[in-house]
Amino acid sequence: MGKFIVETSARHIHVTQEALETLCGKGFELSVKKMLSQPGQYASNTKLIIRGPKGELSASILGPVRKDCQVEISATEARQLGVKAPVRESGDIKGSAPITIINPENGNSIELQEGCIIAKRHIHMTPEDAKEFGVENGQIVAVKVASGNGRDVIFGDTVVRVSPSYALAMHIDTDECNAANAFGEVYGEIVKF
């Protein structure tokens, strides 16, 4: 079976246009710092503060704007912030942890009653990719990540996400990256055990 790139997704923020303007000013638009592997997605030049009961961290906004606000962090960061962020697929924010987002430039802030999650590790695939790998949207698989650095791991509970607008890539968070020593160009493959 084929292999796919494994990318580390660091903590980040998704915002609505309304939230962006509340935080950064009327008519504010995100500017591209770096394009990401998923078509049309990018890391912006705008960094904000996410604050929980125990602390705060800086995080970039990913663009373009979304229909809901969402903050994605690792389990380690959840402990640093003092939030009980559940492991969820991106977009599944109902009943998730509250969090405050602050613009350090002007002091503007928004309080999210829900929206802070630990993103469930996942593989983005096109329908053609899914056919080639013999999987379907929503299927849970195990993925062997071989970094070649003496820390090969098998990640269970990896969800397959299929859309014509995706590009083939697996996303893990910084805790998972550290566990697998998955720095640089690293590949994964779906395994059965």
Instruction: Parse the chain into domains and list their residue ranges.
Output: 11-119, 121-191
Return the CATH number of the domain spanning residue range 121-191: 2.40.40.20
What tokens were used for 91?
């977009």
Q: For residue 57, give both structure tokens.
A: 């961290």
Which pLDDT tens digits describe the chain residue by residue (193 residues)? 689 999 999 999 999 999 999 999 999 999 999 999 999 999 999 999 999 999 999 999 999 999 999 999 999 999 999 999 999 999 999 999 999 999 999 999 999 999 999 999 999 999 999 999 999 999 999 999 987 888 899 999 999 999 999 999 999 999 999 999 999 999 999 997 5
- pTM value surpassing 0.85: yes
DSSP conformational letter for 61: E
CA separation for the pair 193, 2 (Å, rounded): 17
Say if CB 114 and CB 85 are below 8 A apart. no
Q: How far apart are CA 138 and CA 151, in angstroms?
A: 28
Phi, psi of 173 (to 5 degrees): -90, 180
Predicted confidence at residue 150, as pLDDT, reads 83
